[in-house]
A = this chain, B = another copy of it.
Amino acid sequence: MTNTSLKDLAKELNLSVSTVSRALRDSHEISPDTKEKVLILAKKLNYQPNPYARSLRKQKSKTIAVVIPEIANNFFSLAINGIESIAQENDYHVLIYLTHEDYEKELSIINHLSSGRVDGVLVSISSATNDIRHLEELHRKDIPVVFFDRISDNINTIKVTTDDYNSGYKATNHLIDQGCKRIAFLSISSKLSIGVKRMEGYKDALKDRGINVEEKLIVHTEGSPEESHNKIKQLLTDPNRPDGLFASVEKLAIASYHCCHELHLSIPKDVKIISFSNLETASLLNPSLTTITQPAFEIGKEAARVLFKGLDKHKTFLLNKSIILDSQLIERESTAK
């Protein structure tokens, strides 16, 4: 048994297809009687209009695509949650594509999306992506694109991100407030925009509170987990070791935490740690961890909202705006000693 079609309804009621179509869309040029008859039968047969026939006819898919590098256990799950909720509100459908940080995959996915499958695209580019011509091409084909989180500065479209500078500033201030005098900054890259901006916030916070920025307290570990571990351990073994750590990504917070244990340093008594983290349960699982959380859900929602506005109004609406949301500092009472 296949799905009911307009034709089926029409035949059953001795009406024409167009009348049935209009009745279902509550057109004013249909008599109340026929409307009712049609509606009743449609409900009875659970009529669901074929979305692809409609899309083809209306040149609109009522579908958006979300293209992201990864999904497991992090920021992106929450972002999708936000995106999906806004999509549902707008009666839109959400296609999901994972690039696994692979440029080739991203390329072929984005290329495909110019087919008319979707009305708009939400994208967070893969770390391997330098060339963004594939995204410009979408744009040129009048498919609105909104970047979120992982953005490219080289394209003239809207971007939704966290305020990394301010987050860095806030996190550093928090450690100072807790009494830290020497605060180290840990990052996984000296180039990535998020790392750089967070570091600027860190530096300015120190300056504003009259603390010198010591270059030796800024650690970039571009390589393996082992390298991170060693560098942090070295930092903490120094007789003049820092009394505060600002980990710009969660991974480094975990590494720091382990180093402290190995060196029998108590957290937060000997060393205070603050970290970027989107793991909601991070500070629950480890009460001595203070986290800076990106508003992932809100970023997803905002990105989707802005995309839908662009769909309604005009693509030019989406040109070169930037929406920057603030992060949140989550601190728990430490019950551990």
A interface residues (Cβ-Cβ under 8 A, vs B): 1-3, 46, 48-53, 55-56, 61, 63, 70-73, 76-78, 80-81, 84-85, 88, 93-98, 111-112, 114-117, 137, 140-142, 250, 254, 257-258, 261-262, 279-282, 284-287, 289, 297, 335-336
| CB pair A77 B81 closer than 8 Å | no
Which residues from B are CB-within-8-Å of A250?
281
Q: Do B72 and A1 touch (CB < 8 A)? A: no
Known: A48-B112, A51-B115, A84-B96. 15 other contacts (CB 8 A): A2-B142, A3-B114, A3-B116, A48-B111, A52-B52, A72-B280, A77-B77, A94-B96, A96-B96, A250-B281, A258-B287, A261-B287, A262-B335, A279-B279, A285-B286
A95 touches B97 (CB 8 A): no
Known: A73-B279, A98-B85, A261-B335. A49 touches B1 (CB 8 A): no
For residue A137, which residue of chain B has the nearest CB?
B46
A93 — which chain B residues lie within 8 A by C-beta?
95, 117
Contact assessment for B50 and A56 in the assembled complex, using a CB-CB cutoff below 8 Å: yes
**CB atoms of A53 and B56 under 8 A apart:** yes
Q: Which of B1, B56, B254, B258 contacts A335 (CB 8 A)?
A: B258
Closest to A54 in B: B52
Q: Which residue of B lies closest to A73 (CB)?
A: B280
A220 to chain B, nearest CB (A): 22
**Residue of B52, B94, B115, B286 touching A95 (CB-CB under 8 A):** B94
Are B52 and A117 closer than 8 Å at their CB atoms? Answer: yes
Residue contact A77 to B72, C-beta cutoff 8 Å: yes
Question: Which residues on the B side are within 8 Å of A94 (C-beta)?
Answer: 95-97
A281 engages B73 (CB within 8 Å): yes
Residue in B3, B61, B137 whose beta carbon sits within 8 Å of that of A141 in the complex: B3
Identify A84's interface contact among B81, B97, B112, B262, CB under 8 A: B97
A73 cross-chain contacts in B, Cβ below 8 A: 73, 77-78, 279-281
- Residues of B within 8 Å of A96, CB to CB, are 80, 84, 94-96
* List of B residues within 8 angstroms of A258 by Cβ: 284, 287, 335
Residues of chain B within 8 A of A142, CB atoms compared = 1-2
Contact among B61, B286, B289 with A52 in the assembled complex (CB-CB below 8 Å): B61
A334 to chain B, nearest CB (A): 9
Q: Which 3 A-B pairs have the closest CB atoms?
A: A48-B115, A52-B52, A285-B285
7 contacts between A and B (CB under 8 A): A2-B141, A3-B141, A49-B115, A51-B115, A52-B55, A52-B116, A76-B77
CB contacts (< 8 Å) of A98 on chain B: these are 81, 84-85, 88
Given known contacts A46-B111, A95-B93, A142-B2, A261 and B55 CB-to-CB distance under 8 angstroms: no
Chain B residues with CB under 8 A of A52: 52, 55-56, 61, 116-117
Minimum Cβ distance to chain B for residue A311 (Å) = 15
Chain B residue nearest in CB terms to A257: B285
Q: Would A80 and B71 be within 8 Å (CB), given that A52-B116, A116-B50, A117-B93 are in contact?
A: yes
